[in-house]
C-alpha cells in the first residue's frame, strides 16, 4: 500500500518504471479527446468542482485513463471526500501513477499523472481515510468508468 512518505519519495526522487508508454502529438490528442478532457489532461487544467456526476457514483467498477485506457483506480477505494472531485485512497497498482512536485498557484502540492501517457489526473493529499491516509483527488474528465 502506498503511503504519504512513499508519495513524497517518488515525487522527489523518481517514479516507478511505466508498464508501457503511449506518445501522441498534440493534434492526435485533440482529435481523440473532448475540449475539456484535452485542457485538463494535456494542459494540466482543472474541471470545476461538483461538475461531474462521477463524484456521487459508488457502484462497483474500475476507472481508467481517458487518454490511454490504462486502469488506474478501483471503485472499492473510492470515497466521498466532499471536495467536488472523485477521490480514491489507492491506485490499482503502484506503477500506473507518477508523482510530480507542483509549485503552481503559490502552493506546494503533489500532482498525479498517468505513468503511461503523462495525462494530468489531479493531485494527491495526505488527508484521506485509513488505512492509507491518502486522497487521490482526480478530475472526472480524466477518467472513464469501466465494469
CA 107 to the chain's CA centroid: 19
From the candidates 65, 67, 114, 137, give the one annotated as an active-site residue: 137
- Start-to-end CA span in the chain (Å): 23
- Complete DSSP assignment for 47-112: PPTT--GGGG---S-EEEETTT--EEEEGGGEE--SSSS-EES--SSGGGEEEEEE-GGG--EEEE
Respond yes or no: is residue 137 known to be catalytic. Answer: yes
Pairing label, strands 78-79, 87-88: antiparallel
Adjacent-strand bridge partners of 109: 102
Q: Could you give the residue numbers annotated as active site? A: 137
Amino acid at each position: 500500500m502506498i503511503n504519504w512518505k512513499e508519495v513524497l519519495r517518488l515525487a522527489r526522487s523518481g517514479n516507478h518504471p511505466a508498464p508501457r508508454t503511449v506518445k501522441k502529438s498534440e493534434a492526435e490528442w485533440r482529435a481523440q479527446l473532448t475540449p475539456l478532457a484535452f485542457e485538463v489532461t494535456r494542459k494540466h487544467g482543472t474541471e470545476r468542482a461538483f461538475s461531474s456526476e462521477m463524484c456521487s457514483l459508488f457502484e462497483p467498477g474500475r476507472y481508467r485513463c481517458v487518454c490511454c485506457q490504462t486502469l488506474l483506480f478501483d471503485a472499492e477505494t473510492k470515497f466521498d471526500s466532499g471536495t467536488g472531485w472523485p477521490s480514491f485512497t489507492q491506485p490499482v497498482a503502484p506503477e500506473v501513477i507518477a508523482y510530480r512536485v507542483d509549485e503552481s498557484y503559490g502552493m506546494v502540492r503533489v500532482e498525479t499523472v498517468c505513468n503511461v501517457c503523462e495525462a494530468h489526473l489531479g493531485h494527491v493529499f495526505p488527508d484521506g481515510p485509513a488505512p492509507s491516509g491518502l486522497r487521490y483527488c482526480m478530475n472526472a474528465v480524466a477518467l472513464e468508468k469501466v465494469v
